[in-house]
Amino acid sequence: MYKDLRFLIPGFILLAVSGCAEFSKSDSSKSVKDTGMSLGTLGAVEYVHVYPFEKPFEARIDTGAKSSSIDAFDIKPFERDGDRWVTFKVKNDLTGTVRSYELPLVKRVIIKSKETKLFKSDKLREHRYVVKMRIRIGKLDFVRNFTLANRTRFDYQVLVGRNIILGNAVVDVSKKHLQPTK
């Protein structure tokens, strides 16, 4: 019986190794780079075009943030044909241009932060509206969810989170402005 196992064990090992090699090969064929739709490498800060603005915003690229966010003001929810919408304004601090938006509301979220974790009441936590916005980084356009927030206390008006980065780019935090602006 043990003599038979001497032949079976190497056979199983060979089968397992060849199966792993094939799996590895098929994984690489589905990589983002092979599709031609990759951003490649992003720096810690990139220029991001937010439609319909003509000039880009400087954006913080944050792999620790699950979702993306944009500095917005005059945020007001309303109903249109029975659906929930939100109106808001965005100002590009680099140019001073202000644009008004009216977009369907995707959802409303409670933001967890160091400050809000101290409070157990939802009334004291920060509630934000989420809308789909069209942006361009480098040569690729994205339509992704953005939370509308007062980001005046931050250095950058736009935060690009994992909902854009994941599967599209790697981030080199030691660099800035690696993507073309046009």
| Average pLDDT estimate for 2-16 | 49
| Average pLDDT estimate for 72-99 | 96
Considering the chain, what percentage of its residues have pLDDT values greater than 90? 64
Mean pLDDT score of the chain: 81
Sign of CA dihedral 172, 60, 97, 148: positive
Question: What pLDDT was estimated at residue 126?
Answer: 79
Sheet containing strand 98-104, strands side by side: 73-80, 83-91, 98-104
Quickly count: other Cβ atoms within 10 Å of residue 171's Cβ: 18
Report the C-alpha gap between 175 and 41 in whole angstroms.
10
Of 121 and 11, more confident: 121
pLDDT at residue 14 is higher than 60 = no
* Tokens read off for 153: 């206390």
Domain ranges of the chain: 2-30, 38-176
Assigned CATH topology for domain 38-176: Cathepsin D, subunit A; domain 1 (2.40.70)
pLDDT interval class at 18 (50, 70, 90): very low
Give burial (CB, 10 Å; 0-12/13-18/19+) of 85.
middle
* Tokens read off for 174: 């030691």
Angle, CA of 142, 146 and 149, to the nearest 5°: 145
Question: What pLDDT was estimated at residue 36?
Answer: 53
